[in-house]
Amino acid sequence: MARHATVDLLSRVPLFEGLSRAHLGHLAALAEDASYNAGRVIVRRDDPGKAFYVIVAGQAKVVKGKIVTARGEATLGPGDFFGELALLDGEPRAATVVASTPLQTIRIERTAFRRMLREEPDIAVKLLEGMARRTRKILAAPPL
């Protein structure tokens, strides 16, 4: 996918809010295209979280569990994402996600992401800033 389109998609993810276009460009450089046939399991509940996904085209179903950052939505479509927190903490998957149509995603691996943060600590500092604002927001107005 074209770099600027990847940057646009990533800019809408809460974790990356507040990153400059240049920082988003570093992130987009890590993104790989990954396509799945309908019915394919993309991530499985309880497996270690190793990557973050943004859906480019198609739809996916959340089965067994819920994606906390998607407010429990069961169907995901273009622009939706999962594995955002796994990118940071690598915790086991909270849900299984299955492609319900042919699915195109971009994927960022946790190991590549961490390597990039070590090389670009300014991005890590920005992300921390965003996480603090987000914690504040959630604590003030908890989602239902």
Partner 1 sequence: MAAARRPATYLLARVPLFTALSKRQLARVASVADERADPEGRVLMEAGHPGKAIHVITSGKVKVMKGRVTEAELGPGDFFGELALLDGEARTRTIVAATPLQTIHIERPAFRNLLKREPDIAIALLEGMARRTRKILDSPSQ
Nearest Cα residue to 15 out of 88, 78, 101, 104: 88
What is the spatial distance between Cα 66 and Cα 95, in angstroms, rounded to a whole number? 5
Q: Give burial (CB, 10 Å; 0-12/13-18/19+) of 43.
A: buried
- Window 68-87: residues binding partner 1 (CB under 8 A): 68-69, 85, 87
- Contact between 34 and partner 1 (CB under 8 A)? no
What character string, x for contact with partner 1 (CB under 8 A) and - otherwise, covers 84-123?
-x-xxxxx--x-------------------x--xx--xx-
Contact set with partner 1 (CB under 8 A): 68-69, 85, 87-91, 94, 114, 117-118, 121-122, 124-125, 127-136, 138-139, 142-144
